[in-house]
Structure 1
Amino acid sequence: MDASVIIAGAGPTGLMLAGELRLAGVDVIVLDRLAERTGESRGLGFTTRTMEVFDQRGLLHRLGPMGTSNAGHFGGLPVDFGVLDSIHQAAKTVPQSDTETMLENWARSLGADIRRGHELVDLHDHGGHVEVRALDPQGAESTLTAPYLVGCDGGRSTVRKTAGFDFPGTEATVEMYLADIRGVDLEPRLIGETYPGGMVMSGPLGNRGVTRIIVCERGTPPRRRTEPPTFAEVAAAWQRITGTDIAHAEHEWVSAFGDATRLVTAYRRGRILLAGDAAHIHLPAGGQGMNTGIQDAVNLGWKLAAVVRGHAPEELLDTYHGERHPVGERLMMNTRAQGLLFLSGDEMQPLRDVLTELIRYEEVSRHLAGMVSGLEIRYDVGPGRHPLLGLRMPHLELVGDRHKTSSTELLRAGRGVLLDLEDSAVLRDRAAAWSDRVDIVTAAPHGVPAAGPLAGTSAVLVRPDGHVAWAAPGSHHDLPMALERWFGPSRTQHS
């Protein structure tokens, strides 16, 4: 085998997955058809959940200073994300190109083999391994084999098409333009500000003198393009909608996209898996696409590593689809709903008015903000009544025997964590047979309020992706059962 895992696509999803696999000691090859990154940034910033994910891997400092805010929207209607329970706010000013650079540097520092200019052109799942054919920058063909292949190669995924994944959904009904321009003074226009002829948005990108604009002209059917639109097309549409001439502006890049909505019926077929846009495409409402892909990678990485290394049975990979496909379904639902709100005409105004009233209620704001940010996600990890089961472990300051730490820092290495909050020798002894995969940490909470989800909690088992798999008291199944379910048989059972 050339590697344990081959990843197609070196965007944020593929790079995040490569880093997660390398943290677990799994050798990985990443193939990307582009010889170098484009420098284009369709995504700007991260949701609160992605901020938490990057923090748990110690990656936030690699991005330097960033603007954060609790201001958000749902379909163009303002929503205060400050109602959510997180130590982080959403990042608003980080270009996707910076995110990709950071993730590539991190993955390479861990030993990932990233091959740019190598395009996957064919594949075959032989049952015991996957074989792929790729073309190098000179057009020479090579064959690579690995036990597993993951397609992170975007909305037009070669892996998805060639492997025969079903990809049902709806075709695009509109075409939208995106452009980053210079040399024009435009007042900021928030998403959701509609005109008789369509919708436009504009806003500065940091302090670089660059303005991002988005244009959607009502009644214009989407085109099947093989090349990006010209800036002349974008400027003409802007003028028809707003009456303002921006044709004299300089443009850094231009792109077109639509509101097609599709979700694969399965995230896994045998030894081939999909993540990110390869598994789901949708209107980019609320900046959820890149963030969902990164979170797909964090859910999959530790599971795939456990299977590859022989720690866990292959059935663990079924939980990837079981947990992330419902997330994809809600992503499809909420982006379609948002598109109706900010792309429709005056006929939608009564609904906008009603939702504006409802959003004033904190419970409604919390629900919508949790949906867009990803903080609402709760996985089915087994029976139990503990309020944290299936949710992501909240940030908790801890005091151990010798030093202070936190629940976030304990996840840096990408391993499971059994957090013993009451210094129980019996608990630690029951988990000792999994200590090669799970860090057993005894620490006391520092400054935790009497109320809240951790009130009365004596121990928590946290998966490498940060989600709580078991907690005491309140879980109906025994700790060894939870450890075996998520981390495979113990060393004793293996021997």
Structure 2
Amino acid sequence: MHDVVIVGAGPVGLALACELGLAGCSVLVLEREPGPGSPLKTAPLGMRGLSAASVEAFYRRGLLDPLLTASGPQDGFFDARPEADEPPRPRFGGHFAGMMLDGDKVDAAAFPYRLPSPGLQALRTHLEAVETVLSDQAAKLGVEIRRGVTVTAVAQNREGVTALAGPDAYEARWLVGCDGGRSTVRRLAGFDFIGTEPQFTGYVMHATSAGLDELRPGFNLTPAGMYIRMSAMGYIGMMDFDGGAFDRSRQPTRDHLQAVLRRVSGTDVTLDEVHTASSFTDRAMQTTAYRQGRVLLAGDAAHIHSPLGGQGLNTGLGDAVNLGWKLAATVRGHAPEGLLDTYTGERHPIGAAVLDWSRAQVAVMNPGPHAQAVQAVVRDLIGTRDGTTYVFERLSGAWIRYDLGGEHPLVGASAPEFRLGDGTRLGDLMEDGRGVVLDFSTDRLLHAPARGWEGRIRYAAGTAQEDFGLGAVLVRPDGVVAWAGDRRPDREAFERAASRWFGNPAL
């Protein structure tokens, strides 16, 4: 019996497998597809933008350099990784409903706890690169991946879960569905899945056409929808506001795609040949909970929405990082009571907010004079410094903060990249997946109390180049600040916080 079976070997399932493997759990990943490759995962159809929060997660596990190598040149999408102690600035900050942001208008003063980091503001990558890096890491950690396995039934009791795939049965103490928007695990385990129906059908395709020059590069909002010309090589995206009438279970034909492209672009472009095509909708749905007994969900299995702004992949990776250490602590028997329930408590509101962010963009893009009037207002607003900063905050993940009950603004937020006097960075201390306590106090007040959690919390002491007036900080394995102490940190307060998140030190 494995500790955890994960269904789905996409980025979210693999990221979760790595987190669990790092904690010493035995993990089996089951994937329906026979192989990892697909034209829809490579550039440019598989292109995705990783937010600062996602890039930070790769950096804190020592995986950013391999990901940069696998992703290829950034082509000026964002500034290169800094050599000096200055954070990189985006050359543009993404888009809202196809309306591009000017990164030079982002107000750095709106992020007072941001510190220079080896990471990037964001990263343009593709799914194949993400999956390759995570698969390699999973293999190093002893994670087993079995492909060509289709789960057909899930049964659980108080002791564990069994996943059936034909005549084969896979037993585990826990099972996590990371099997996408049409999740089999979600359906078999009986999760409630609610939300709103689609407004459009979206398409991505690689086509050959002599008339591509008729199409403007980049994002193009039109009176009939939107199209995106990704490159001069015939890679195109489209959004047709048909109420989601074209179900992706049907393969779109050349004639259908040509008709949609002509309608949306307002041109008479002719497609000579379609090499690859896929469709999607903006259906926005979310499960009411992310856990049913010993079955959990993460990524698109728990929430689906339109891909506008690249929020789906980033939200799913956030789920994996949040769940991984909590499930590992539960498996290993030292989780405090209720720890696993905080996964739904923390991540469900994030998913709900992302769904609304997606719905807002769809509403702005809707054809017709009313939406176009709103477009004009939104375009003016995001052209301002405050508007750009607000949208950039949402796209970067900087807005995410869990309600952990602490008074300091950092509690519940991602920890700044603290750098000790000897050059050690917080990210250097987090690669093994443990929590970290940084003790900035001159008399090392937390050294003795921290010893009780040695296997779960790494202790590091020293002055910091910037400590924001703090005496100590406790950081969870997912990089979230769990507690912040003043210049003379309270030992008892630290121990209460450590016990809340890391359990009884005697276990």
Relative to structure 1, is the Cα distance of residues 76 and 161 closer, same or farther in structure 2, using a 3 angstrom cutoff?
same
Query: What residue number does 1:150 align with?
Result: 176
Relative to structure 1, is the Cα distance of residues 233 and 158 closer, same or farther in structure 2, using a 3 angstrom cutoff?
same
Q: 1:359 Cα shift?
A: 2.2
Instruction: Report the AA paired with residue 320 of structure 1.
Output: Y
Alignment of 1:86-101 (within 5 A): 87=117, 88-92=120-124, 94-101=125-132
Q: What is the CA deviation profile of residues 20-74 of structure 1, one whole-angstrom value per residue up to 9, with x for unaligned ones?
A: 0011111100001111024223452311211111111111111214414332111
Alignment check: 8 A CA contact 2:199 2:242 kept? no
Q: 1:482 Cα shift?
A: 0.5
The DSSP-based 3-state class of the residue aligned with 2:445 is: helix
Distance in 2 between the 1:12 and 1:378 partners? 23
Match of 2:411 among 389, 408, 411: 389
Structure 2: stretches of 5+ with no match in the other structure: 79-89
Instruction: Report the AA paired with residue 97 of structure 2.
Output: G
Alignment of 1:438-449 (within 5 A): 438-446=457-465, 448=466
Query: What residue number does 2:97 align with?
Result: 75
Distance in 2 between the 1:218 and 1:472 partners? 52
Alignment check: 8 A CA contact 1:416 1:438 kept? yes
Relative to structure 1, is the Cα distance of residues 106 and 211 closer, same or farther in structure 2, using a 3 angstrom cutoff?
farther
Relative to structure 1, is the Cα distance of residues 233 and 411 closer, same or farther in structure 2, using a 3 angstrom cutoff?
same
Match of 1:247 among 271, 274, 285: 271
Query: What residue number does 1:322 align with?
Result: 345
Percent identity over paired residues: 40
Q: 1:217 Cα shift?
A: 2.9
Query: What residue number does 2:82 align with?
Result: none
The DSSP-based 3-state class of the residue aligned with 2:193 is: coil
Structure 1: stretches of 5+ with no match in the other structure: 136-140, 449-453
Q: Does 358-367 or 286-295 show the bigger shift?
A: 358-367
Instruction: Report the AA paired with residue 22 of structure 1.
Output: G
Query: What residue number does 2:152 align with?
Result: 121
Alignment check: 8 A CA contact 2:365 2:372 kept? no
Relative to structure 1, is the Cα distance of residues 413 and 83 closer, same or farther in structure 2, using a 3 angstrom cutoff?
farther
Q: 1:423 Cα shift?
A: 4.0
Distance in 2 between the 1:212 and 1:83 partners? 34
Alignment check: 8 A CA contact 1:231 1:254 kept? no
| 2:372 is the counterpart of 1:345 | no
Q: 1:194 Cα shift?
A: 2.7
Alignment of 1:26-41 (within 5 A): 26-39=25-38, 40-41=40-41
Alignment check: 8 A CA contact 2:205 2:274 kept? no
Instruction: Report the AA paired with residue 167 of structure 1.
Output: F
Distance in 1 between the 2:385 and 2:223 partners? 32
Query: What residue number does 2:240 align with?
Result: 217
| 2:450 is the counterpart of 1:431 | yes
Q: What is the CA deviation profile of residues 447-486 of structure 1, one whole-angstrom value per residue up to 9, with x for unaligned ones?
A: x3xxxxx421111100010010011129997100100111
| 2:391 is the counterpart of 1:376 | no
TM-score (norm 1): 0.90
Distance in 2 between the 1:231 and 1:101 partners? 32
Alignment check: 8 A CA contact 1:307 1:314 kept? no
Alignment check: 8 A CA contact 2:421 2:462 kept? yes
Distance in 1 between the 2:497 and 2:410 partners? 15
Distance in 2 between the 1:196 and 1:35 partners? 42
| 2:504 is the counterpart of 1:489 | yes
Q: 1:348 Cα shift?
A: 1.4
Distance in 1 between the 2:371 and 2:227 partners? 17
Distance in 1 between the 2:452 and 2:244 partners? 61
Distance in 2 between the 1:238 and 1:272 partners? 42
The DSSP-based 3-state class of the residue aligned with 1:58 is: coil
Instruction: Report the AA paired with residue 430 of structure 2.
Output: L
Q: 1:254 Cα shift?
A: 0.7
Instruction: Report the AA paired with residue 203 of structure 1.
Output: M
Instruction: Report how many residues are paired.
Output: 469
TM-score (norm 2): 0.88
Alignment check: 8 A CA contact 2:217 2:229 kept? yes
Relative to structure 1, is the Cα distance of residues 424 and 361 closer, same or farther in structure 2, using a 3 angstrom cutoff?
farther
Alignment check: 8 A CA contact 2:224 2:367 kept? no
RMSD: 2.1
Instruction: Report the AA paired with residue 431 of structure 1.
Output: A
Match of 1:407 among 426, 432, 442: 426
Query: What residue number does 2:221 align with?
Result: 194
